[in-house]
Amino acid sequence: MDTFEKNLQDEQIRINDVLHKLKNDLMGLQKQTSTVKTDIIEIRKSFWEDVTVNFDDAVEAGETATSIKQQAEFLAEREHRHKNLDQDEKNLKRLIEAPYFARIDFVEEGEREVESIYLGIASYLDPSTDEFLIYDWRAPISSLYYDYSLGSAEFTAPGGVVSGELKLKRQFIIKNGSIKSMFDTGITIGDELLQEVLGDQSNTQMKSIVATIQQEQNKVIRNEKGKLLFVQGAAGSGKTSAALQRMAYLLYKHRETLQAEEILLFSPNFMFNSYIRNVLPELGEENMQQTTFQQYLQHSLRNQYEVEDPFTLMEYMLTAKDEQLYPVRKMSSVYKSSYDFMKVIDQYLNYLSEEGLLFHNITFRGNIIFRSDEISSYFYSLSGALSLSNRVKLVSEWLLSQLKKMEKSEREKSWVEEEIQFLSKEEYQIFYEKLTKQRNFTEDTFDDYEREEKMLRKYVVKRHFHSIRKEIKSHLFLNIKEIYRQLFKLPYHLTVGKNESLSEEEWKDVCSFTISQINQDRLPYEDATPYLYVKEKITGFQVNTSVKYVFIDEAQDYSAFQFAFIKQLFPNARYTVLGDTNQAIYSHHSKSGIEALMNLFQGESIEKIILNRSYRSTKPIIEFTREILNNKNEIDPFNRQGPKPVMIEKTELSEVVSSIENKVRTLQNYQTIAIICKTAEESQKAYQDLKQHMNVQLIDKKSNEFQKGIIIIPAYLAKGIEFDAVILFNASKEQYYEEDVRNLFYTACTRAMHELFIYSAGQVTPFVENISDHLYSKEE
Ligand SMILES: Nc1ncnc2c1ncn2[C@@H]1O[C@H](COP(=O)(O)OP(=O)(O)OP(=O)(O)O)[C@@H](O)[C@H]1O
């Protein structure tokens, strides 16, 4: 038996031993879980039996409350215990599936004994010796595995830096309790395991990468120095993966103080949300909060406007180039997404501090009870040293106090009496119950007619005033719509003219477009954030102080305005922002998004990490796709072989369709095949043509997830996800010609893991024309 086989045998013996212990522990744990579960059922069943309920007098009632509280606390404690046991059980089951993925041997400086450390997705202590049989991959010592080759190495433990020598790095693939592969490696993390993992077929759900995290990715995962961590990474360099493992790391490192719901991820679309849903649970952690910026906007502006979504705008930008309004729309969008526009709004808010704030009349039963000019006078009578929002708060308070007075005098009016006459039996009953609850009446005194009528009047008026009070509290007396519209009516030299980002003519066009949209109760996507900004600044920013970490993925698609807005929303959070400027597909955004982000954090600490190595696609695909880019950024392919991308040129679209049908048949071995179109419109047409001949799923902006098999998808929705094989539906010169869709084309091509096919009806796009022939093959 050679050394390798001997090692393999020894490792298998250790695994058997660890598995035996894990299984024993699991049995014990399952018994405990079942006992606690029985307890919970019992407590729930007998909850009221064990509580003495007595409301005869205050003392008895107090005792009853205490008794209920005790019983509830007891139940909560059991439920909490059950949750913990359940989590431990899940972790043990995961460890039984694959106890660990690596071993490192480390000898500390000044020591002789070599310590063998085994890394898995959770720590496991030997129940008899209390020694670690498995270390969590996030433990301080585990960073040795990710950061060092054999030789001198160090890690930061809670007590300080520990130096020593790394003697061995070994990786395993363990399935059903036996070692499937084992590699000893010299370099940071051996290629063999990564080759195996990346060579696998794709999935409709993202997987965790803990066994093969690369050194530079580990920096992203563990870096806690900056208030802002910015990661610029090539397509497929593992930005999303690193972000998710980073969340798991933070949850582990700060487990005493950080909850999963205190982490918020802004992701690009719904489908992406479900694509990454399993990663944290697979690592034994609960999922973070996830949202899209659009969801946030819609939630905040609900009931006020029909807010356009970013995909409708994107579709318009891609399909409406010949329309008359197109240039204005583009200009409007580019300008309103800029930081300059935020500054213009800030100036406007300063102006509003002196004059120009607009209010609604407040009416009651068809009569004006507060005139808008009256409210305005009150507002501007308040000290200008107070912020707009503080003055709005004082106005609310004033209105509410005035309302109280009115409410009293209103009770005497004749309409109240009429309404009392028409109170239904049910309403009367409700009123009666309310009053007896408030102990204003007992059965004996209720026949006191005068008192009853007084109370009824009070009740009726109060009911009517309730909705006004609610409106005042929600600041509906402010005419935000008109305030926003007014911005586009002010003279040029007082607004945009100050920083001259647009000419007077251009601004005039933007203004008339915006006003016409608002008049139709429509809020274009580019106006949604500025509108909300104006509203929040006037009524008081609804900041969220409970979120401790904000993650923004696909950050290149956020505008300067949006970054500045998000930063104000989460003032206490640390930010991890990940993006790739080469995948910036919103050419209708101002160009300065990432730059503005950096400026926003100036004065606070910023950490920047660049990921150049790309793991998703095979080497031939990366060598081809990086040539699409104008600015030849360094993109370093991971060495995984596969066929070269294939270009297939046809004369007619109908030929493309039938050729794709044939091609898909040859790709049946793959789990996921995406036919990527430029727009939703093109996807719809391709779907109509192809669905007759194959089983295919159409993805649109509302899709929540995709299934294995063949899908048709617009390029802008394929952001962040990947497929075994990608077919570019029609990469013709007509479709992809102008510079502003180069990044979109690049993003679509970089979704491919193993094979890429580029079809065109007619001449192919100039984006690939100059790529050397040896980087692709042609098919007739
Ligand atoms: N260290 C790694 N080990 C194994 N797989 C990895 C590693 N890093 C990245 N990958 C794989 O590479 C693919 C791309 O990763 P990911 O989606 O995180 O990249 P990205 O930078 O967010 O890509 P994009 O910007 O193109 O959306 C995924 O399949 C991921 O599992």
**631 DSSP assignment:** S
For residue 554, give the ligand 1 atom closest to its CA: 25
Which residue, among 551, 580, 589, has the nearest Cα to 339 in the 3D structure?
589
Cite the annotated binding site for ATP by residue number.
233-240
- Residue ID of nearest Cα to ligand 1 atom 5: 209
pLDDT digit string, tens, across residues 712-764? 999 999 999 999 999 999 999 999 998 889 999 999 999 999 999 999 999 99
Residue 721 Cα to ligand 1 middle (Å): 9
Give residue 73's pLDDT: 83
The two structure tokens encoding residue 599: 């400026």
Nearest one of 371, 712, 384, 335 to 495, comparing CA atoms: 335
Q: Which of 667, 769, 673, 678 is nearest to 727 (CA)?
A: 673
Ligand 1 neighbour 239 (Cβ under 6 A): yes
pLDDT of residue 298: 87
Could you tell me if the CB of 240 is within 6 A of ligand 1?
yes
* Protein residue closest via CA to atom 1 of ligand 1: 213
How far apart CA 184 and CA 168 sit, in angstroms, is 7
State which ligand 1 atom lies nearest to the alpha carbon of 243.
Answer: 18
Please report the pLDDT score of residue 478 as a whole number. Answer: 96
Separation CA 690–CA 731 (nearest Å): 17
Band (pLDDT 50/70/90 cuts) for residue 458 is confident
46 or 290, which is more confident: 290
pTM, to two decimals: 0.89
Would you say the CB of residue 579 lies under 6 angstroms from ligand 1? no
Tell me if 618 CB under 6 Å of ligand 1.
no
Q: Which two structure tokens, joined as six digits, stand for 333?
A: 């969008």
Q: What is the pLDDT of residue 433?
A: 75
* Ligand 1 close to Cβ of residue 530 (< 6 A): no
pLDDT category of residue 460 using cuts at 50, 70 and 90: confident
Determine the pLDDT at residue 485: 95
- Name the residue with higher pLDDT: 492 or 220: 220
| Per-residue 3-state assignment (H helix, E strand, C coil) for 755-768 | EEEEEEECCECHHH
Task: Say how many Å lie between the CA of residue 233 and the centre of ligand 1.
Answer: 10
Helices 293-301 and 525-539: crossing angle in degrees, nearest 10, is 60
218 CB within 6 A, ligand 1: no
Q: Which of 131, 134, 130 is nearest to 91 (CA)?
A: 134
**Residue 441 pLDDT greater than 80, yes or no:** no
In the block, tokens 């040539």 appear at: 627
DSSP states along 205-246: S----GGG--HHHHHHHH--S-SEEEEEE-TTSSHHHHHHHH
Q: Which of 566, 572, 533, 568 is nearest to 552 (CA)?
A: 566
758 Cβ closer than 6 Å to some ligand 1 atom: no
Has residue 459 got a pLDDT over 90?
A: no
Share of the chain above pLDDT 90, in %: 60
Q: Angle 339-354/525-539 helices, nearest 10 degrees?
A: 40
Probe residue for ligand 1, chosen from 283, 615, 622 as the CB with the greatest number of ligand atoms within 8 Å:
615
Please indicate whether residue 137 or residue 430 has the higher confidence score (pLDDT): 137
CA 312 to ligand 1 centroid distance, Å: 28
Residue 55 confidence class, pLDDT cut points 50, 70, 90: low
Residue 228 pLDDT: 96
Q: How far apart are the first and last CA of the chain?
A: 54
pLDDT in tens, 539-587: 998 899 999 999 999 999 999 999 999 999 999 999 999 999 888 888 7
**Does the beta carbon of 232 lie inside 6 Å of ligand 1?**
no
Protein residue closest via CA to atom 3 of ligand 1? 212
Nearest to 644 by CA among 613, 622, 672: 622
Query: CB atoms < 10 A from the CB of 25, how many?
Result: 18
Give the total residue count for the chain.
Answer: 780
Name the residue at shortest CA distance from atom 18 of ligand 1.
238
Q: CA-CA distances (angstroms) from residue 690 to 509, 659, 685, 729, 768? A: 42, 11, 9, 11, 26
Ligand 1 near 616 CB (within 6 A): yes
Closest residue CA from atom 8 of ligand 1:
238
Give the residue, by CA position, lying nearest to ligand 1 atom 23: 236
Atom index in ligand 1 nearest the CA of residue 217 equals: 1
Q: pLDDT value at position 186?
A: 62
Reading the block at residue 632, the tokens are: 């030849």
Can you give the pLDDT at residue 704?
A: 87
Spatial CB neighbours of 711, under 8 Å, sequence gap ≥ 6: 672, 673, 674, 675, 696, 697, 698, 699, 723
